Amino acid sequence: MQIHLTDSEEAMKCRVRSATSVMVNGEWVPLDIALSEERMASFLGDRVMGA
């Protein structure tokens, strides 16, 4: 996992829609999932197990 601030070179390539923009493997994470620790853990778990 890589975490980039909105002013990083990597983030400049993306259109950041808000202060809470999360992208996983090129897929935007819905805001309601990104704001919930439980839902985000489930979302990431699904992607890791599905990989």
Contact in structure between 19 and 25 (CB atoms under 8 Å): no
Determine the pLDDT at residue 49: 74
State the pLDDT at residue 18. Answer: 60
Question: What is the model's pLDDT at position 20?
Answer: 64
Tell me the CA distances in angstroms from 17 to 47, 49, 51, one per residue in order.
22, 28, 27
> What is the pLDDT, as a whole number, of residue 46?
86
Amino acid 35: pLDDT: 83
Tell me, yes or no, if the pTM score tops 0.85.
no
Low-confidence ranges of the chain (pLDDT < 50): none
